[in-house]
Every structure is written in C-alpha cells, then in structure tokens.
Amino acid sequence: MSERSAIIFLETEYNRNSVAALAGSLEDILGELSGTVKISFLPVEYLGEDIRLTEAIGDAGTVMFAASLGILYDNPGAFLADPKSPALEGRRIYHVAGGPGAVNAPELLLYAGFDAVCASEGEEVIRDLARFIGLGRFRRFWDIPGLWVMERKNAYFTGRRPRVDLSNYRPCSRRWRKFGFIEIVRGCLNGCIFCQTPRFFRGGVRERSLRVVYGSVRDFVKGGRDHVRLLAPNALSYGSHLRGQPNLSALERLLSGIRANLPDTGMLIYGTFPSEIRPEWVTVDAVRLLKKYVSNRKVAIGAQTGSDTLLKKIRRGHTTNDTLRAVRICREEGLKVFVDMIFGLPHETPSEFEESKRFMYEIFRLGGVVNAHTFIPLPGTPLANVPAQKLRARFRRELSTLEAGGQIIGNWRDQAAFRKWRVKS
C-alpha cells in the first residue's frame, strides 16, 4: 500500500528524547498502520528547504508536522511550514505541537497557527494521530482525547486520557535509530512550586519495568549505541516508596541488569543533570552502589537555594544541611559534585539571598561546583505569574567571575536573557 500520509517530526537539539519516545511508540503499531503513514524526521531548520521537505513527504497527500517544544523554545513560528512552499502544493497539511513548551500554553499555539496542541502524555496521542491521518479512524482532531483544538476562535480541550503505563512503551526507536535518555521514572512525589513535573504528570510516580528497561538497553546496543543515559526526577528513588530512603536492592537490580545488557566497553550515565539526586536521599551506601555501576564520576545534587526559609517557601522538602551532608559524602567517595541552584526565585528576601550566597561559597569550600540557573516562571506552576527577583548587575558580575574560575557552570545567562525577552513580548 502506498504511504498516503506522512508524520514529519521536526527535530531540534532539545527534543531528542521526546522524538525518540514518540517514534518508539509508533514503531510498535506499524503493523496496524499497514504502511499508510510514512514517518519522517526533519531538523526544524530545514523546514524551509524544498528538497529536504519533498524527501520527507514522499508521495503523501496528507502531511502532519509534529513539533515537540521544549520549555525554552522561543519561536513557535519556526515550527510552522509555509503553506505556499512548492513541496506542499496540493497536499493537506496539519501542524500539531506537544511537549513541555506547549502543554501549558495551548491557546497561544493555536492562535499562532497550530491545528492541535497535545496536552497529555504523547505516547498514545501520537498513535491516535497516526490512526487519524493514516487509517481515517477519527473524523477530526475533536474526536481524539488529550488535545486542545480551536473552534470558532475559541480553544477547547478534547478530554482527559488515562495516564500511560510506561512499561507499555519503549523509549527509543531502533527502526529509525532514534535514541534519547531511557526514562525510568515519570512523575514526582514532591511538590516544588517552581516545577512542572508534579503538575503535568499528576497522580504520583510511575516506573518503567525492568523488563522494558533491559529491552531498551538491548535496542540501544543493536542500534549501534554503547552508552545509555537514564532519566528520573530523583536518581536514587527507583523502586522506593518511602521518601528519602533509597531501595538499594531495587536500585542494584536496575543498574546491574543494565550493565549486563551493555558491552564491557559500554557506558551507563546516571545521577547527572537532569536526573539529579535529591540531597536527603544521599547515603554512603547509595553513593557506593551508584559508583559500582555508573560510568560517570560526577553527580548532580538538587539544592535550588541555600536558604532554609526559602526552601520551605518553595516546598522543597529538604534542608541546606541535607545538601551539605550530601556534598560531603559524594566528595569523600571521590565524586565530582555539581549542585543545582536557582537564582532570582520569587519570595526571596534580601537576607535569604545573602544566605544563599554564603551557602554557594560553602559548596565551593567542600569542593563542589554550582550549576547555576536563573528562575523562569513556568506555566502551570504556582509561580507561573509571580514576579521573579531580578539578578542584580553586581551579582551577575560575581557569577561571571566564578564561572571563569570554573566554580560555576550552567545556563543562567541564557535563561536570564530568555526571561527578559518573555517579559517584554
């Protein structure tokens, strides 16, 4: 059967993980689609290039562009194809957006020109979208739950979907050689008020089963990859249902099984950003276990701020002492430690700012490096509309000096510029 429709994933450097997971989900229903949908991948910067676009479309009469937008995307228009492009002449075109950058701003994207915005977990939605354009299973976007659509200039939600069971989906695609992080845990029991994770992935935590994780590792290896990175909101939480208490035997089963499926020269990366470790979970035994199996000799610890009163206000659920203790343990075990800190958080008083600064220097004294972030209000969180604190010029200069000396890393400067741009626009 000829492929009369096409889904084209628009790739960026930020959406590699989402594209891999969506492609993996589609790979498992190719039999059902019976060759009716061509799946293509196009770096978003080639969207305006006719030759590349024609190649991606093939002979499809209906084309759906799928854009997974990261939190820091700045121009949704870059993901919209020009309908006047010769490559699109005579074809029916749809634009669908999803991902963390889309999920909480659906109206904005619909007004920008997208036909539908996915506000649910993508694994099942992408299958229904393929059934829609390939098999005609649905009459219109309205019939597919989990989407925002526009009707008479108003945005409507088509209805909630059940939470996906991660173990029913693989996080990568061998067929199309799309490999990102292997997501082993989704959702979070904590409620940090700046974070989208517990708001988007409601209802607690889900884990990918060991069977599927090991199978994914084998997919990586068969696909020519000899290193894997694991993704979890807290690197020590796999298999544990008790806050702050790692389940060492579950963690060991996970990591040793992955190792067993990797070649001897393979790399297993875990416990680094964004799969940081919550400080109150750090124990000597847990760190030794990590060291035994992972290839990285650096870890990331989420501190976020160095003021205990601000930690309470942002509902982090740990103290500054937890972080200092965690840094000490990791350093004593010979690991390089990166401590995540967010600057410019709302509700921060001048004295809390000073405490945070002192804390930062304490981290340096212990031999840690600070991974500095500038607070960005994220849609859907309790801080979405709360004014952020400005990073004063003097403090920015101080961060730059520390950065030049290697004591600070991170995207704090780009994030500050993005925040400024967003306030202006």
Q: Which residues of this protein are in contact with ligand SF4, per CB under 6 A?
A: 188, 190-192, 195, 197-198, 233, 278, 302
How far is the C-alpha of 178 from the C-alpha of 43, rounded, in Å?
13
Q: Is 220 helix (H, G, I), strand (E, B) or coil?
A: helix
We find the least distance from the C-beta atom of residue 233 to ligand SF4, in angstroms, to be: 4
The DSSP element (H or E) to which 317 belongs, if any, is none
∠ Cα 233 218 285 (to 5°): 45
SS (H, E, C) 141-197: HHHCCCEEEEECCEEEECCCCCCCCHHHCCCCECCCCECCCEECEECCCCCCCCCCH
Contact call for residues 314 and 304 (beta carbons, < 8 A): yes
Q: Of the candidates 345, 333, 403, which has an alpha carbon nearest to the alpha carbon of residue 374?
A: 345
We find the least distance from the C-beta atom of residue 274 to ligand SF4, in angstroms, to be: 9
For the sheet with 147-151, list strands across it.
Answer: 37-43, 5-11, 62-68, 92-98, 116-118, 147-151, 154-157
What letter represents residue 336's amino acid?
K
Q: Is the Cα torsion angle 378, 379, 385, 386 positive or negative in sign?
A: negative
Nearer to ligand SF4, 38 or 278 (CB): 278
Nearer to ligand SF4, 17 or 190 (CB): 190
We find the least distance from the C-beta atom of residue 280 to ligand SF4, in angstroms, to be: 10
Nearer to ligand SF4, 197 or 389 (CB): 197
We find the least distance from the C-beta atom of residue 401 to ligand SF4, in angstroms, to be: 28
Nearer to ligand SF4, 114 or 200 (CB): 200
We find the least distance from the C-beta atom of residue 197 to ligand SF4, in angstroms, to be: 4
We find the least distance from the C-beta atom of residue 196 to ligand SF4, in angstroms, to be: 8
How far is the C-alpha of 147 from the C-alpha of 159, rounded, in Å?
7
Nearer to ligand SF4, 7 or 330 (CB): 330
We find the least distance from the C-beta atom of residue 244 to ligand SF4, in angstroms, to be: 12
Nearer to ligand SF4, 61 or 191 (CB): 191
| Max CA pair span of the chain | 69
Place of tokens 């935590």: 205
Q: Is 249 helix (H, G, I), strand (E, B) or coil?
A: helix
Nearer to ligand SF4, 191 or 223 (CB): 191
Query: Residue 208 corresponds to which tokens in the numbers above?
Result: 């990918």
We find the least distance from the C-beta atom of residue 337 to ligand SF4, in angstroms, to be: 17
We find the least distance from the C-beta atom of residue 53 to ligand SF4, in angstroms, to be: 37
Nearer to ligand SF4, 116 or 188 (CB): 188
Nearer to ligand SF4, 25 or 275 (CB): 275
Residues with Cβ within 8 Å of residue 414, at least 6 apart in sequence: 72
Q: Is 360 helix (H, G, I), strand (E, B) or coil?
A: helix
